[in-house]
Amino acid sequence: MTSDCEPRPEVDLLEVNDADFIAGFDKLYEQTWGEGAIPAKYKELVGVALSVAIRCEPCLAYHIKRAVAAEATRAEFVEAIRIGILSAGSATIPTARHGYRVLRELGVA
């Protein structure tokens, strides 16, 4: 399963136990996050905002890395993180801080 935000374990227990479901999920994931009418960079910035809003640090790091690969700018990251914070409230601030640590580690912030 390639679409998971969490690091992949040696044996994917979800895939082992429900291969049909995860195959369908992966296909849907690729249709949604792959190239389409919305360029990949903007989809990944949406992923950044959503990851902040749901407070998923592994997801946030995943989408930041993909957005960096799609050449997102520091200013675009700042706005995406702001959207996540304002959409979900102050409980997201620790996750936003984590995002800035990831950006710093990647040399973006």
The pLDDT averaged over each successive group of 10 residues in the chain (109 residues) is 59 92 93 91 97 97 97 98 95 95 93
**Residue 9's pLDDT is what?**
61
Angle at 64 between CA 5 and CA 60, to 5 degrees: 45
Q: What are phi and psi of 8, to 5 degrees?
A: -75, 125
**Residue 77's pLDDT is what?**
98
Which pTM does this prediction carry?
0.81
Domains of the chain: 39-109 (1.20.1290.10)
**Residue 27's pLDDT is what?**
94
In angstroms and rounded to an integer, the radius of gyration of the C-alpha atoms of the chain is: 15
- Hey, what are 21's tokens? 């479901």
CB atoms within 10 A of CB 24: 11
**Residue 109's pLDDT is what?**
75
